[in-house]
Structure 1
């Protein structure tokens, strides 16, 4: 049953002629009034003029407040500095900061393809991504630029955290400004990297249509919340919207994640909201910013929500300005939901399920929808087709357990330069195998029960165990190894490892991985086994035996 038959608000919001009008094109449900080129949506935000657009802190810690007019002026100044043209790739490798945001907008204006790199990755990992995508230029901050150079990259880089030479700006600004050549909906727009199962990250190529569909899905969800609020208050929705203060979003997700890019940056930006940027997560600073900036929109992984609630309680700071709190990546514990409601009684809580390859969420539930099924990962979005398949590809019925497979206008084009990897997950008619095992109930709620992929989600970060095991296997002292996740109240899961090794200690093993992969991929603990690791019938290490044995292996019981 579709969401349209269940929710009259959806029917109202997607009525013919509305920005969210839905129709069928190419066999897929799409937003028929949406432009083909993401830059058209970005340009529409110029109308917000003197509203505050971005609040940030520069490298010296000085606060920056930029209006929409100032932000677009900065964007327009940067475009000619890129030397980039339609279809060329331009990489961004920076921590969350205003320069990242303006860099992305400049790439879209120039007609480039934004290659979004994991700023937490090691130098060799970053160079591997650059070698894979061969960008015309890399936009960096000082620290990332140094790491990339030290790892051997010789290509062109622009450090956006250092002022450009005034003569260079004047010379380029005086030149003719090339007209923006519109992209087609299926043209590549962004490349976001997903953790590699074999030690090398894959670049998911998202088209302009993918990006716009993901964005409008997020905005449609917000508009439905407003319509439900107006109904509850007995007001016309136009009256409610006209009297709402400017919304403010606290950006804590990394911008190289699809959640950070779409939910925390582009969606609020296009709605005229204030975006307050956090460079790194700090619960005390988050509490301060929420109170000072009147943050109303906050999306974060459960670990961050726990941190925020504990810090607000300890500091006795009022964070009741929060009106919309979202999470994803793992189920929200019931006690966390109760704690959020107790501290922010007016807040609408929501959750979503998706992945980079889906340009964000393919299932979502907010407010009453979420509270009806808090254990669910979300409700299948109206523009998404979703089904459950068994190991042989047979489509299963409602409530049956199998792999979640999805199709829609937001499903990626494929993996950059990886035709075999693309074919393994994406069928010729556009169905994507998610690798997640679950079921869909009669009302379209998705329940995740397991992952086919050997992956740990720790604090919202995807960590592939095979990648960690490859790094561990390069240590001469290690004869056998296994990495896996164990439950953790704050992080959801914690990555640990069991090794058979001699002549090396736990700290050395952890540091070895941290130096070769991103530090967050290093095991939190390493246990040493005196005997060979258990194996299953096909000779693979049996992690189903190791997980319950972990407390004994690490000496906790």
Structure 2
């Protein structure tokens, strides 16, 4: 793409903000700052513009300008007492305090470990044990959960007032590009939490890559309409994004928070997904950008239909986590006639999207996950390590400056995830066509994506196996019109019913990880030649097992 696209050549030419260089086989932005805080500081120029709208603050609605966010960040940083390289866990639901906490940790050169705020006390305890933070920043509810889970270290409830005598930090601690910046958790196929370490360079590259993509879209539009880029920019309404992803997700951190923050956009926070509230916020706040999953889009479509809602302000809709059904696409286009719709493909370990398709690019290959982004190298490998040709299916392997440094304190898992020559194994099975579009057809990882949430079967099965009445268990995903995939379980057990099993999991893991259906087998579960439970056979048996129940 970079060799033949004239617009890409134009916007990345020497002397431009997106000028590219190459080192050790990786492309990078020559003019990028060395640490994320320097990039964040550039947003001070937005001053009194609205930065965050939070309808669920301690006193109701809050509207915070960029100047107010920076002032709050500097006061909080003055009381943290941490320095470069020290780990600080952040454990809160989506709220302005979460954002301020992250900005404060980055300013001090710390490493922000982003805990899943939906987790149970045991899950939070496991994440804390994994990264052994020097400090935890939490809201009141999560602070209580952490203490219940046995955490006895230093903890600050950042939802409490700082006090008028809190010092304002004057100086920042500079970090090196390769320094860890954030740790984001993923359970992985082992069922145990592990933290993907994202460096300053990887996060900055991902964020600037998003800006580069946006610049290329503008240049393409200008070329299509035969007008200057400035004329297009002048017609674009002020950016306002509805934040629906959890901030501890890479999608929430990057696309939902940092990307709009760096471009002067207004971030409208949702505490949790609720279609009625989403439609209200879009209308009231004149939201222009929505990054979500098909499940949420379906909910929004049904709510908008019922209430005759006006969603015409939406100009950009990004979808990820699962394929966008074609009938949903038509519904969304009818509701949001001015919206440019796109899809993306990425993962925590890649600091966000590594493939994307927007507008006409997306419409040309609606079933794809997008085209590989300019700063990413991608190859598709067979099981024997040989390279696949166009349209041949294999595991997707990627290399980029966006890729994580590794898993925190997990050298063996890091080694298994990277090839000998430094490429990341995504665990996704797919192919690339002649025009560079990526198609995902399966997952090598035993994982279910339900409503955009990654649920690792091994984690759920580990919790199920702790029920003394269960002899054998297996979980897997089945197609679901609303969720994309629904997690179901098959168990061999005595004296249990479906509700007791669902409640058992929901009481020990985040509730969304509980199976939505449970079927019972009187016989031992089928096994393959390796004596592992045969989930392919179980999927084919599921209709019969579920019907019996």
TM-score (ref. length: structure 2): 0.98
String of CA shifts for 1:250-280, please: whole Å, max 9, x gaps: 0000100001100111001100010101011
- Aligned mates of 2:520, 2:59 — CA distance in 1: 44
Question: Matched residues in 2 for 1:145 and 1:59: separation?
Answer: 17
Give the conservation status (yes or no) of the 8 Å contact 1:57–1:64.
yes
Match of 1:323 in 2: 315
2:154 match: 156
Which piece of structure 1 moves more, 395-404 or 256-265?
395-404
SS in 1 for 2:507: helix
Per-residue deviation, 1:36: 1.3
- Distance in 2 between the 1:28 and 1:556 partners? 55
2:332 is matched with 340
Q: Are 1:434 and 2:426 an aligned pair?
A: yes
Residue 178 of structure 1 and its aligned partner are, at CA, apart by 5.8
Question: Is structure 2 residue 123 aligned with structure 1 residue 125?
Answer: yes
Q: Which runs of 4+ in 1 moved over 4 A?
A: none
User: CA, structure 1 residues 288+351, in 2 after alignment: closer, same or farther (shift >3 Å)?
Assistant: same
What is the Cα deviation at residue 505 of structure 1? 1.2
Moved more, 439-448 or 196-205: 196-205
CA distance in 2, matches of 1:338, 1:21: 38
Match of 2:104 among 79, 103, 106: 106
Q: Which residue is equivalent to 1:188?
A: 180
CA–CA distance in structure 1, aligned partners of residues 462 and 4 of structure 2: 48
| 1:365-444 alignment, distance < 5 Å | 365-444=357-436
Does 1:267 pair with 2:267? no
For residues 448 and 378 of structure 1, the distance between their equivalents in structure 2, rounded to whole angstroms, comes to 10
Post-superposition offset of 1:503: 0.8
**CA separation in 2, counterparts of 1:242 and 1:37?**
31
Alpha-carbon shift at residue 98 of structure 1 (Å) = 0.4
Report matched runs for 1:13-412 at 5 Å. Answer: 13-60=11-58, 62-167=60-165, 169=166, 172-173=167-168, 177=169, 179-412=171-404
The CA deviation at 1:15 is 2.1
Structure 1 unmatched runs, 5+: none
Note the C-alpha offset of 1:297. 0.8
SS at match of 2:156: strand
Please say if 1:488 is aligned against 2:488.
Answer: no
CA contact (8 A) 2:35 2:176 kept: yes
For residues 134-153 of structure 1, give each alpha carbon's deviation from its aligned partner in whole angstroms, at most 9, with x where no partner exists.
Answer: 11111111111111101110
Distance in 2 between the 1:215 and 1:383 partners? 12
Corresponding residue of 1:504: 496
Pairing 1:534–2:526 present: yes
Distance 1:215 1:431 in 2: 21
1:225 offset after TM fit, Å? 1.9
Q: Which runs of 5+ in 2 are unaligned?
A: none
Per-residue Cα deviation, 1:218-254 (whole angstroms, up to 9, x for no partner): 1112222222232333321123224433210000001
SS of structure 1 residue aligned to 2:44: helix
Kindly indicate whether the alpha-carbon contact (under 8 Å) linking 1:411 and 1:430 is maintained by their aligned counterparts in 2. Answer: no
Q: Secondary structure at the match of 1:47?
A: helix
Deviation at 1:12, TM superposition (A): 2.1
Q: What is the correspondence of 1:446-465 to structure 2 with a 5 Å cutoff? A: 446-465=438-457
Q: Is the 2:40–2:262 contact (alpha carbons within 8 Å) kept by the matching residues of 1?
A: yes
Q: Quick check: 2:107–2:173 contact (8 Å CA) kept in 1?
A: no
* SS of corresponding position for 1:214: helix
Could you tell me how far apart the structure 1 residues matched to 2:203 and 2:462 are?
A: 33
CA distance in 1, matches of 2:235, 2:355: 30
Greater CA drift, 34-43 or 533-542? 533-542
Question: Shift in Å at residue 164 of structure 1?
Answer: 2.5
Q: Distance in 2 between matches of 1:283 and 1:128?
A: 32
Please state how far the C-alpha of 1:462 moved relative to its aligned partner: 0.7
Secondary structure at the counterpart of residue 216 of structure 2: helix
In 1, Cα distance between equivalents of 2:421 and 2:525: 42
Structure 1: distance between partners of 2:85 and 2:445:
33
